[in-house]
Amino acid sequence: MTQKMTLTVNGHQHKISVDDPDMPLLYALRDDLGLNNPRFGCGLGQCGACTVHVDGVPTRSCSLPVSAIGKAKITTLHGLGNRQKPHPLQTAWIEEQVNQCGYCINGWMMEGAALLKRNPNPTEPQVREAFSDLICRCGTHNAAVRAVLRAAKQV
């Protein structure tokens, strides 16, 4: 049974029709809406590549059924800021030249931004803790920590 739904993403409303209510949010964002930021890394909730904010909470969109979203507001990396009005973490991320390939970037930046919101002045161990369940195969871990600490100084 096809269901009609409305998703609020980065402040815009999008109507979609969904055949399978169990379809993960990731596929709605990428396939129905054509958004590229959340990426498929594992589909198992193990890596973070698909992370978006759902009402401000970093969420792995590969493991959340689209039917569970309801009226929640979704923010992708693209919605965090832009070149005109960058999020402080985006500025810091560029300053620190964090990524190699960048395939993992949604997980790290969305977790980092959520941490700064919860705790504008985190300690290094707190940053490491916030990143403890993320994967980056290129080894950018320490650079990501430096970027959050740099952004914290600017917030």
62 binds ligand FES (CB under 6 A): yes
Say whether residue 89 binds ligand FES (CB under 6 A): no
Residue 140 binding other proteins, by CB under 8 A = yes
Residue 122 makes CB contacts below 8 A (sequence gap 6+) with 115, 116, 130, 148, 149, 152
End-to-end CA distance of the chain: 47
- Is 48 near ligand FES (CB under 6 A)? yes
13 near other proteins, judged by CB under 8 A: no
Question: 28 with 46: CB under 8 angstroms?
Answer: no
User: Of 15-34, which residues contact other proteins (CB under 8 A)?
Assistant: 19-20, 23-24, 27, 30-31, 34
What mask of x and - would describe binding to other proteins in positions 82 to 101, judged by CB under 8 A? xx--x---x--xx--xxxxx
CA atoms of 17 and 19, how far apart (whole Å): 7
Q: Cβ contacts of residue 71 below 8 Å, gap of 6+? A: 8
The tokens describing 136, both together, are 């980056």
- Our finding on whether 41 is near ligand FES (CB under 6 A) is yes
Q: Any bridge partners for residue 6, and if so which?
A: 15
Position among 7, 9, 74, 104 found at the interface with other proteins (CB under 8 A): 104
- Contacts with other proteins by CB under 8 A lie at 19-20, 23-24, 27, 30-31, 34, 36-37, 39-44, 46-47, 49, 76-78, 80-83, 86, 90, 93-94, 97-105, 109, 128-129, 131-143
